[in-house]
Amino acid sequence: MSAPASAAAQDGVDRLTYAPMVMADLDAVFAIEQAVYPHPWTRGNFVDSLASGYSAWTLHDGDALAGYFLLMLAVDEAHLLNVAVAGARQGQGIGRYLLDKVAACARGLGAESVLLEVRPSNLRALDVYRRYGFAEIGRRKNYYPAHNGQREEAIVMRFVL
């Protein structure tokens, strides 16, 4: 008899290691970024974020990267710039685990809330954010690049710490 899905997901999270993102992680980070996003960040975006001193963290399962996030502090609010879970690891509770780490990191930086933008078409992410407790606070028109030169709005969400 197999373990319940939640127990299996927890087992998968328990063996992950959480560590600051370093330049040596960028090949694996960029590979996930390209695989999971239709309009990924460039490698230069990650290099610039690390050089700017943003809080950047990774989750590894042994030698394999399972996910990552980048967080920027702006006064008393943390802005979640990027978060991703490796495609093969999605649906295993890692997104929620990363959001727990985002909240802990933001608190450690003295933030009172976490802000993020998400595409309305990214239904899976929207569901994860809403279930976590993020609430929509606005929209940004023409924020994201979309197919055929079009633009997609962003849903702005906030989680109060």
Positions annotated as catalytic residues are 117, 129
Cβ(69)–Cβ(102) under 8 Å?
yes
How far apart CA 70 and CA 40 sit, in angstroms, is: 14
Q: Which helix (H) or strand (E) holds 72?
A: strand 64-74
How far apart CA 123 and CA 31 sit, in angstroms, is: 22
Q: Which residues contact 77 (CB under 8 A, 6 or more apart)?
A: 111, 112, 113, 114, 115
Q: Which residues contact 135 (CB under 8 A, 6 or more apart)?
A: 157, 158, 159
